[in-house]
């Protein structure tokens, strides 16, 4: 009876991991052979693991990745210019903590989105909050936020995100006001957030795509300063292997 009351109180205090571990200890006769400190340590370890797993699940759901990807599944065998040494510099997610950028360019189907989602998922595993957007969807959301008066709230959300991923940059021609919105986002996030961009177009073409030279200079300056640049090559992996990694 006392055991049930203890377990119920643990659940009521949202110590679910500890409650489940306590229930297991009560069912195992050999638990009595452990000291109090040993049993308590096992309970605390389980609670810690449960809390970390729950937090990771929340971060992954919040990120809204397009693909379920992880760095362990990256394919370095394909002839596409993806170097293991480059990825190894990024897998610790230190670049996120240092508020740096990663720019991934290459033809369609070469694995840009998979790589972006894999690095984003690793950042989530390392405790960072991430937001993933296809570029066109981000700008539609910004336009809607201007229309309904929620732009400042959305801008604040983007500013607080440790890693912002913008996928397929440059596919749609934007209005100058939209590029200015993006510049404002980059300004707000400078020295407080990291950015990962993917594009089918090489970086040397981005300036002309943006149009306004002053805005283009400002955007590229913020993105390319201390940026890790990955240029993927080759034919589409979708046609060669049936999936993208």
How confident is the model over 149-169, as pLDDT tens digits?
A: 999 999 999 999 999 999 999
Report how far residue 209's alpha carbon sits from residue 201's, in angstroms, rounded to the nearest whole number.
10
Asked if pLDDT for residue 239 goes beyond 60, the answer is no
- Non-local (6+) Cβ contacts of 53 within 8 A are none
* Higher-confidence position of 112 and 242: 112
Report how far residue 89's alpha carbon sits from residue 113's, in angstroms, rounded to the nearest whole number.
19
| pLDDT, tens only, 80-113 | 778 888 899 999 999 999 999 999 999 988 899 9
Q: What angle do CA 81, 84, 89 make, to 5 degrees?
A: 115
Q: Which domains does the chain have, with CATH numbers?
A: 2-62 (no CATH), 64-241 (3.40.50.300)
Asked if pLDDT for residue 244 goes beyond 50, the answer is no
The HSE-up count of residue 185 (CA atoms within 13 Å, CB side) is 24
Answer yes or no: are the C-beta atoms of 49 and 17 closer than 8 Å: yes
In terms of C-beta density within 10 A (0-12 exposed, 13-18 middle, 19 or more buried), how is residue 65 classed? buried
For tokens 């049930």, name the residue. 4
Asked if pLDDT for residue 186 goes beyond 90, the answer is yes
Q: What is the Cα gyration radius of the chain?
A: 23
Report how far residue 202's alpha carbon sits from residue 221's, in angstroms, rounded to the nearest whole number.
16
Count CB neighbours of 212 within 10 A. Answer: 14
**Helix ranges restricted to H, the chain:** 2-12, 16-27, 36-63, 84-88, 94-97, 112-125, 135-148, 151-160, 176-189, 206-210, 213-224, 237-241
C-alpha dihedral, 51 to 54 to 58 to 61, nearest 10°: 160
pLDDT of residue 226: 85
């Amino acid at each position: 009876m006392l055991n049930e009351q203890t377990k119920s109180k643990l659940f009521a205090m949202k110590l679910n991991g500890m409650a489940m571990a306590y229930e297991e200890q009560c069912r195992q006769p050999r638990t009595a052979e452990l000291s109090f400190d040993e049993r308590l340590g096992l309970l605390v370890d389980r609670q810690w693991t449960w809390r970390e797993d729950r937090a990771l699940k929340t971060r992954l759901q919040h990120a809204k990745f397009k693909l379920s990807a992880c760095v362990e599944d990256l394919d370095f065998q394909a002839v596409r210019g993806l170097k293991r040494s480059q990825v190894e510099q990024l897998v610790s997610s230190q670049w996120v903590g240092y508020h740096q950028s990663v720019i991934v360019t290459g033809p369609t189907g070469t694995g840009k989105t998979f790589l972006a989602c894999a690095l984003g998922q690793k950042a989530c595993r390392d405790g960072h909050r991430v937001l993933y957007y296809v570029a066109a969807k981000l700008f539609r959301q910004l336009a809607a936020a201007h229309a309904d008066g929620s732009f400042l709230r959305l801008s604040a959300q983007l500013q607080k995100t440790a890693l912002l991923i913008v996928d397929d940059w440059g596919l749609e021609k934007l209005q100058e006001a939209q590029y200015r919105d993006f510049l404002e986002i980059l300004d707000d996030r400078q020295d407080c957030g990291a950015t990962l961009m993917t594009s089918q177009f090489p970086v040397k073409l981005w300036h002309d795509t943006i149009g306004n030279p002053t805005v283009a200079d400002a955007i590229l300056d913020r993105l390319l300063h201390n940026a890790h640049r990955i240029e993927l090559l080759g034919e589409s992996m979708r046609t060669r292997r049936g999936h993208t990694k």
